[in-house]
């Protein structure tokens, strides 16, 4: 499986971000998406779904909560989701969050580092 790397933008405290339809990287179900987790702060992931069966599965990582297993986020058709990633659960030994998409997933994915 090929890899798509997403480079998160750094959010600045007190500054708004523009989230418009189509922001981010197009979902390619043949690829996994790799997002580097920040050394400090949190990682915010945004999914803009174009299909009723869009689902992102973040593999269990190497943190203290890895025994909870993979974390899956399902997003309905023409729906968006934003969520903060649990670093203790889904960050791997390379410091990345790895997302695998369900076969029928479509839309866009973006990420930001929170201050």
> Which pLDDT does position 19 carry in this prediction?
85
Give the pLDDT score at 40: 83
The pLDDT, as a whole number, for residue 113 is 94
Q: How far is CA 63 from CA 31, 83, 91, 95, 105, in A?
A: 24, 19, 7, 10, 27
Asked if 108 and 25 count as a contact pair (C-beta separation under 8 A), the reply is yes
pTM for the whole thing?
Answer: 0.89
Domains of the chain in sequence order: 2-12+23-114 (2.60.120)
Residues 6+ apart with CB under 8 A from 114: 11, 41, 42, 43, 44, 84
What pLDDT, on a 0 to 100 scale, did the predictor assign at position 49? Answer: 93
For position 109, what pLDDT does the model report?
A: 96
Q: Which two three-digit tokens encode residue 15? A: 């500054």
User: Hey, is 78 helix, strand or coil?
Assistant: coil
Contact between 73 and 100 under an 8 Å Cβ cutoff? The reply is: no
Q: Which two tokens stand for residue 76?
A: 């309905």
pLDDT score recorded for residue 76: 87
End-to-end CA distance of the chain: 32
Ranges of the chain whose pLDDT falls below 70: none
Which residues contact residue 104 at a Cβ distance below 8 angstroms, ignoring those fewer than 6 apart?
29, 51, 52, 53, 54
pLDDT at 26: 95
Check if the beta carbon of residue 107 is closer than 8 Å to that of residue 27: yes
**pLDDT score of 73:** 94
């Amino acid at each position: 499986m090929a890899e798509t790397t997403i480079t998160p933008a750094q959010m600045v405290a007190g500054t708004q971000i523009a989230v418009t339809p189509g922001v981010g990287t197009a979902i390619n179900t043949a690829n996994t998406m790799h997002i580097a987790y920040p050394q400090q702060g949190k990682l915010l992931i945004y999914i803009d779904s174009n299909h009723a069966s869009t689902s992102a599965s973040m593999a269990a990582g190497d943190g203290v909560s890895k025994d909870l297993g993979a974390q899956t986020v399902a997003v309905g058709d023409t729906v968006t989701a934003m969520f903060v990633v649990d670093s203790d659960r889904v960050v791997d030994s390379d410091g990345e969050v790895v997302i695998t998409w369900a076969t029928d997933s479509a839309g866009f994915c973006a990420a930001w580092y929170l201050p």
